[in-house]
Amino acid sequence: MKKLLSIFGICTIVSASWWGFSVRDNDYMMATLGDSASTAFNAASEWNNLGLSWSSGSEIESHFVRLKRQYPGKRVRVANFAVPGVDSSDIERQARQASRVELDYVTILIGSNDLCRGDISEFRDRMISAVGILTSKSPDVKILISSTPNIVQAREVAKDLKCERIWSKVMERCNVSDADKFYDNWWKLNAILDVISQNNEQVKFSDAVMLRKIEPDSISRIDCFHPNLFAQERISELTWKQGWWK
């Protein structure tokens, strides 16, 4: 078991792994990379709710579930390598871990913790490297990169939910008190992802998460920060529409 820092610094998770995995000819291989948004952290119950992940969940209308309908003759297999609390410094490791098998489809949603820490200086190089790892190991892979959410907007909504006490803890690890700096980095970070997709025909970028207005009914009541079950379903729907299949 790996010890991890979530945004609150108190989460543990066992990451998925595929070494020793026997892949059949008709298998369609999917991997989920990213942070707590893709593990459905605190979406319905405390810690990770992998079955509710917008990307890999089996209990909601996730990308994984949609792929099974898209390819009824295939055995769609998925593993979630996302880790709560990480920033882009972990994305290359996740890409290498996932690439132990040849992949058909990958989703990536990461960057919120880079924004929380106020440093996106290495974000571009890390993301380009991760995409390179995935495409070199899987020449036909389709990659969907999601934009990052508006954390400042989430904080304002949380105030309306009377979450000031919880957010005082959040701010210890995610200081977005300087809204101007956050928005400057936020736009730059998402623009980086957009350019990466424009320069690589195997990558599509979805701006749905950054453009989605965060409503009170979409925030976890456990931590007043993470996407809840409703939001996970909505993220799946919106990103799928902007992805490889309509």
In this predicted model, what pLDDT tens digit does every residue of 4-50 receive, in sequence order? 334 433 333 334 455 456 788 899 999 999 999 999 999 999 999 99
pLDDT at 177: 85
Residues 6+ apart with CB under 8 A from 92: 126, 129, 130, 133
Q: What is the mean pLDDT of the chain?
A: 89
* Beta-strand runs (E) in 114-234: 142-146, 203-206
Write the CATH number of the domain with boundaries 2-15+22-241: 3.40.50.1110
Segment 148-174 shows an average pLDDT of 80
Q: Answer yes or no: is pLDDT of 56 > 50.
A: yes
Q: Residues 170-190: pLDDT tens digits? A: 767 788 889 999 999 999 999
Tokens linked to 230: 């409703």
pLDDT at 243: 97
Global pTM? 0.90
- Cα-atom radius of gyration of the chain, to the nearest Å? 17
Sequence ranges of the domains in the chain: 2-15+22-241
**% of the chain surpassing 70 pLDDT:** 89
- For residue 86, report the phi and psi dihedrals to the nearest 5 degrees: -85, 155
- The Cα 135–Cα 130 span in angstroms is 9
